[in-house]
C-alpha cells in the first residue's frame, strides 16, 4: 500500500497549501479585522462539518445500523472507544496548548493576547487594590469605587536614581507609589521630600493643568501607578469623591509649601486658589507597544508560535491518512479497485482547506505585528505545509497496521483535539474580530459549504 501512503501525503499537502495562501495574503495586505473574523468563523464551521461527517458519523452510523446482538455489541464498544478518544484528545490538546502558550505561542492569536492581558491586568489590579486601599485619597470610599479608580491606573517602573519628571515638564498625570521610595526636590525645601507606599505625586500640576514645578527622582527601584488626564476624565462622573480628595490633597500640599517661604506667601495663596479652581466638574485593549513587549519577553516566541500552529494541525494531518486508508479498505472489501479520485474524503479536505486559510491569514497578520519578517512568516507556514503532508502519510502508514478499534480511538483523539481547538482558538478569535451575529452566520455558511462537498463522493 505504499502508493496509498504517497496519495495521503499529496492530499495532506494539498489541504494545507491554503496555509501558505493565507499567509501570503496576511503579510501582503491589511484586511479589515471584520473580514478576518468572518473568514475564521467560516473555516471553523467548515471544520466542524468535516469532523462530524468524516470522523464521528461513520461510527455512530455503524452502531445504529447493527442488526444483531453480536454486531451491536461490537459497534457499541467502538462507540465508547470513540467517545473516550474524543475526551482524551481534548485533554491532550489543552495540556500541550498551555505548554506552548507559556513559551509565547499564544502570540499567534489576537484573542489569546487580549485574554491573557485581561487576566494579568485583573490580577495586577486585585493586588494593587489590596495594597493601596488604605491610601488617604481612598479613605472611606466604597470598595467598588476604589476598584474602579485603580482599574484606570497603569503601572510604571523606574530604577534607583532615574528621573520620573523634572521641573517644567508637561504633566503626565498623577502617580501613586506602590513600591519603593521617591524624592521630591523643591527650591523652597532645604532637603528632598521622601514619599513612599500609597503616596500621591504630581497632583498639583495635574489639577492646575500646568507643568511640574519640582523634580522627582526614584530613590530606590520603584513601581508607580499612573493616572492620566484622559483616564481621570473617564471616572469623574462615576467617582466624584476621588476628584474631591485630589483637590483636598493639593490644597494641603500647597499649604505646607507656604510655610517654607513667607516671602512668597501671597503668591502661594493665589496659586492654591487657582489650583483648586482648575478642576473641571462635570474594557481596555492592550496597545501595540504592550503586545510588542510581550513578544520581546519570549526570546523563542517565533518557534513557540510555530509549535502552536503545528499543534493545531497535527490531528488534522494524521486523520487525513487514516481516512484515506479506511476508504481504500472499504473499496477493496467491496471488490473495487481504489483510484485516487474515488477515495478522496472531499468533505474533510474541503473543511481543512477552508479552515486553514483564515487561520493563516489572521495569525500571519498578528505575527507581522509582533515584528517578524515576512520571509520568516512564509517559511514557517511553508514548513507546515510539508509537515502536514508528512503527517498525513504517517497517518496512512500507521493505519495500515492497526485494527479497526484502534483506528477509531485514534480518530476520536483527532476529533476531540480538533473540536477543542475550534472552540478554544478559532471561534474566540472570530468573535473578537467581528460582530457575533455575523460570526454565527459565517460559521453556518462554512458548515453548509463543507457538507455540500459530500455530493462529489
Specify the pLDDT at position 129: 60
CATH number at residue 131: 2.60.120.10
| Share in percent of the chain as helix, strand, coil (round to 5) | 70, 5, 25
| Residue indicated by cell numbers 520620573 | 164
Specify the pLDDT at position 394: 87
What is the per-residue pLDDT across 24-53, written as a single tens digit (0 to 9) for each? 988 888 777 788 788 888 888 988 888 888
Same domain, 259 and 384: no
Same domain, 50 and 127: no
State which of 290, 315, 340 marks the end of a domain. Answer: 290
Looking at the domain assignment, is residue 112 inside a domain? no
Which residues are within 8 A (CB) of 7 and not within 5 positions of it... i.e. 6 or more apart?
324, 340, 343, 396
Question: Radius of gyration over alpha carbons of the chain, in Å?
Answer: 31
- DSSP E strand stretches across 219-303: 222-227
Name the percent of the chain lying above pLDDT 70. Answer: 76
What is the per-residue pLDDT across 401-414, written as a single tens digit (0 to 9) for each? 778 888 888 888 88
State which of 290, 309, 334 marks the end of a domain. Answer: 290
Q: What is the mean pLDDT of residues 116-130?
A: 58
pTM: 0.56
Looking at the domain assignment, is residue 110 inside a domain? no
Domain count, the chain: 2
Same domain, 91 and 122: no
Same domain, 271 and 413: no
Same domain, 129 and 269: yes
Same domain, 376 and 427: yes
Same domain, 319 and 270: no
Distance separating alpha carbons of residues 447 and 189, to the nearest angstrom: 73
Full residue range of the structural domain in which residue 387 is found: 2-104+301-456
Specify the pLDDT at position 278: 43
What number of other Cβ atoms are within 10 A of residue 33's Cβ?
Answer: 14
pLDDT band at 118 (very low <50, low <70, confident <90, very high): low
Is the pLDDT reported for residue 291 higher than 50? no
Specify the pLDDT at position 347: 79
Cα 8–chain centre separation: 33
Looking at the domain assignment, is residue 78 inside a domain? yes
Looking at the domain assignment, is residue 295 inside a domain? no
Specify the pLDDT at position 76: 92
Q: Please tell me which residue, 91 or 430, carries the higher pLDDT value.
A: 91
pLDDT band at 280 (very low <50, low <70, confident <90, very high): very low
Which is nearest to 275 in space by CA: 227, 209, 188? Answer: 209
Same domain, 98 and 239: no
Same domain, 237 and 321: no
Q: What is the mean pLDDT of residues 430-451?
A: 87
Range among 57-71, 150-164, 326-340, 357-371 rated most confident: 57-71
Q: What is the mean pLDDT of residues 234-261?
A: 70
Amino acid at each position: 500500500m505504499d502508493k496509498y501512503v504517497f496519495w495521503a501525503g499529496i492530499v495532506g499537502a494539498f489541504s494545507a497549501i491554503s496555509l501558505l495562501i493565507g499567509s501570503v495574503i496576511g503579510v501582503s495586505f491589511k484586511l479589515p479585522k471584520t473580514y478576518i473574523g468572518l473568514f475564521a468563523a467560516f473555516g471553523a464551521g467548515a471544520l466542524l462539518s468535516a469532523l462530524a461527517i468524516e470522523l464521528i458519523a461513520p461510527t455512530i452510523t455503524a452502531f445504529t445500523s447493527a442488526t444483531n446482538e453480536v454486531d451491536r455489541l461490537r459497534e457499541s464498544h467502538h462507540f465508547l472507544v470513540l467517545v473516550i478518544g474524543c475526551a482524551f484528545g481534548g485533554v491532550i490538546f489543552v495540556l500541550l496548548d498551555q505548554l506552548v502558550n507559556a513559551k509565547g505561542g499564544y502570540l499567534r492569536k489576537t484573542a489569546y493576547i487580549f485574554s491573557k492581558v485581561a487576566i494579568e491586568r485583573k490580577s495586577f489590579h486585585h493586588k494593587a487594590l489590596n495594597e493601596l486601599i488604605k491610601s488617604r485619597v481612598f479613605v472611606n470610599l466604597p470598595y467598588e469605587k476604589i476598584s474602579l479608580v485603580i482599574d484606570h491606573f497603569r503601572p510604571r517602573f523606574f530604577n534607583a536614581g532615574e528621573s520620573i519628571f523634572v521641573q517644567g515638564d508637561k504633566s503626565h498625570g498623577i502617580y501613586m507609589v506602590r513600591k519603593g521610595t521617591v524624592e521630591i526636590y523643591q527650591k523652597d525645601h532645604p532637603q528632598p521630600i521622601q514619599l513612599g507606599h500609597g503616596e500621591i505625586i504630581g497632583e498639583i500640576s495635574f489639577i492646575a493643568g500646568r507643568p511640574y514645578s519640582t523634580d522627582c527622582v526614584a530613590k530606590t527601584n520603584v513601581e508607580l501607578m499612573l493616572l492620566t488626564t484622559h483616564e481621570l476624565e473617564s471616572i469623574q462622573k462615576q467617582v466624584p469623591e476621588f476628584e474631591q480628595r485630589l483637590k483636598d490633597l493639593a490644597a494641603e500640599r500647597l499649604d505646607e509649601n507656604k510655610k517654607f517661604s513667607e516671602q512668597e506667601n501671597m503668591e502661594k495663596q493665589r496659586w492654591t486658589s487657582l489650583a483648586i479652581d482648575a478642576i473641571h466638574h462635570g474594557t481596555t485593549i492592550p496597545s501595540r507597544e504592550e503586545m510588542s513587549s510581550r513578544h520581546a519577553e519570549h526570546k523563542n516566541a517565533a518557534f513557540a508560535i510555530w509549535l502552536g500552529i503545528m499543534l493545531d494541525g497535527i490531528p488534522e494531518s494524521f486523520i487525513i491518512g487514516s481516512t484515506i486508508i479506511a476508504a481504500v479498505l472499504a473499496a477493496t472489501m467491496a471488490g473495487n479497485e481504489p483510484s485516487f479520485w474515488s477515495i478522496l474524503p472531499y468533505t474533510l479536505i474541503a473543511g481543512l482547506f477552508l479552515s486553514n486559510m483564515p487561520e493563516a491569514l489572521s495569525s500571519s497578520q498578528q505575527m507581522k505585528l509582533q515584528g517578524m519578517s515576512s520571509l520568516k512568516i512564509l517559511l514557517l507556514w511553508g514548513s507546515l505545509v510539508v509537515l502536514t503532508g508528512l503527517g498525513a502519510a504517517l497517518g496512512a502508514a500507521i493505519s495500515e497496521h492497526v485494527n479497526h478499534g484502534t483506528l477509531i480511538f485514534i480518530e476520536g483523539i483527532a476529533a476531540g483535539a480538533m473540536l477543542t481547538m475550534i472552540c478554544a482558538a478559532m471561534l474566540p478569535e472570530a468573535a473578537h474580530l467581528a460582530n457575533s451575529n455575523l460570526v454565527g452566520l459565517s460559521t453556518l455558511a462554512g458548515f453548509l459549504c463543507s457538507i455540500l462537498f459530500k455530493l462529489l463522493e
